[in-house]
């Protein structure tokens, strides 16, 4: 049985974008075992990716912080991973991940890295065949190991059944029946202010959706989302605020039961895509390179992409109605 290691200690959306790599591994090596090392806050993002067998937590802002923390991680797990791995794939060429892969016994290590640590890699310069999207470039890492052409397949996130019971319970607190398919999820906040939906446009959209008979669930995590919701309340209260009220699996269940998602370019957008629900993807940063790298492929996902110049309240409303018309 082939054993593979994936190291991705980046953010929520980055973890999800590794899903096609995992799925391609399982397509080629159905009996393989995939271990995924990821940053502590996003362990649940990796845990329920299709194809992942084991998640190991790297607490990079806690006990595994810095060089000393990396050594601590190695000594914690060197016995557990004593059998090593056939190959390791280090996302974004993280130097710490490259070294750990070798220390943990990976026979081959694949990553995009042009620094001194290239000596530890098994690949030469990678030919991405002109591909720009992150999920596709992640998958090309496997091509270095197999020399086989790989499939461009969608992300797939599979939340456990028990969280759907939690989601039903949560929604019932607001007199929402998932079976009625009359609620739309809204995520307007990212890690970067320039990627966020302007509050006044959000308020107008909430009012328009509410007038059309829909319930609106505002989704977000962290202080920025909480601050945004406080600002939004100055203009409208016609929404349900779920900021900081869901785990990643519970968020996935709430999304899966909804009519669809309106989201800016952030991890929640990628989660909706990975669940296969209708997603209206809003890109307020829309230079050519950014769109090429991060925007979803409409051939793989049930999505419409709107850039900043087309993100008026009316256009967002019209497009989410069009997108969700078959999901009622």
Residue with tokens 């290691």: 5
DSSP state of 157: B
Task: Determine the average pLDDT of the residues in 164-191.
Answer: 91
Using an 8 Å Cβ cutoff, are 258 and 185 in contact?
yes
pTM attached to this predicted model: 0.96
CA distance to 103, 225, 273, per residue, from 72 (Å):
12, 34, 36
Using an 8 Å Cβ cutoff, are 184 and 324 in contact?
yes
CA distance to 37, 225, 265, 289, per residue, from 192 (Å):
26, 11, 10, 17
User: For the chain, how big is the Rg over CA atoms in Å?
Assistant: 21
What is the pLDDT, as a whole number, of residue 181?
67
- In the chain the domains, ranked by start, together with CATH numbers, are 3-146 (3.40.50.2000), 162-324 (3.40.50.2000)
Confidence of residue 328 (pLDDT cuts 50, 70, 90): low
What is the pLDDT, as a whole number, of residue 180?
74
pLDDT single digits (tens) 228-277 = 999 999 999 999 999 999 999 999 999 999 999 999 999 999 999 999 99
CA distance 160 to 126: 36
Using an 8 Å Cβ cutoff, are 103 and 78 in contact?
yes
Confidence of residue 131 (pLDDT cuts 50, 70, 90): very high
For the cut 90, the answer to whether the pLDDT of residue 182 exceeds it is no
The average confidence (pLDDT) of the chain is 95
Task: Determine the average pLDDT of the residues in 150-154.
Answer: 92
């Amino acid at each position: 049985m082939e054993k593979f290691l994936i190291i991705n200690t980046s953010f929520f959306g980055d973890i999800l974008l590794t899903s096609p790599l995992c799925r391609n591994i399982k397509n080629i090596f159905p009996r393989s075992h995939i271990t995924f090392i990821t940053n502590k806050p996003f362990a649940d993002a990796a845990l329920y990716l299709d194809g992942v067998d084991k998640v190991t937590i790297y607490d990079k802002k806690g006990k595994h912080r810095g060089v000393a923390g990396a050594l601590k991680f190695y000594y914690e797990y060197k016995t557990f991973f004593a059998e090593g791995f056939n190959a390791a794939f280090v996302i974004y060429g993280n130097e710490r991940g490259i070294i750990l892969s070798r220390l943990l016994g990976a026979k081959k290590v694949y990553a995009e890295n042009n620094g001194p640590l290239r000596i530890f890699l098994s690949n030469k310069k990678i030919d991405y065949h002109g591909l720009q999207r992150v999920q596709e470039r992640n998958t090309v890492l496997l091509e270095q190991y197999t020399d086989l052409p790989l499939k461009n397949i969608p992300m797939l996130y599979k939340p456990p059944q028990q969280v759907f019971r939690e989601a039903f319970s949560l929604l019932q607190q607001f007199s929402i029946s998932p079976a009625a398919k009359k609620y739309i999820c809204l995520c307007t906040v990212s890690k970067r202010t320039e990627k966020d939906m302007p509050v006044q446009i959000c308020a107008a959209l909430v009012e328009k959706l509410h007038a059309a008979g829909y319930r609106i669930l505002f989704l977000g995590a962290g202080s920025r989302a909480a601050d945004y919701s406080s600002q939004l309340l100055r203009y409208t209260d016609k929404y349900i605020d779920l900021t900081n009220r869901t785990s990643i699996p519970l968020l996935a269940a709430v999304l899966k039961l909804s009519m669809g998602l309106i989201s800016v370019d952030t991890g929640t957008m990628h989660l909706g895509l990975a669940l296969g629900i209708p997603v209206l993807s809003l890109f307020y940063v829309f230079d050519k390179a950014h769109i090429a790298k991060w925007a979803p492929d409409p051939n793989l996902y049930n999505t419409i992409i709107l850039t900043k110049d087309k993100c008026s309240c009316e256009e967002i409303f019209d497009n989410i109605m069009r997108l969700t018309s078959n999901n009622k």
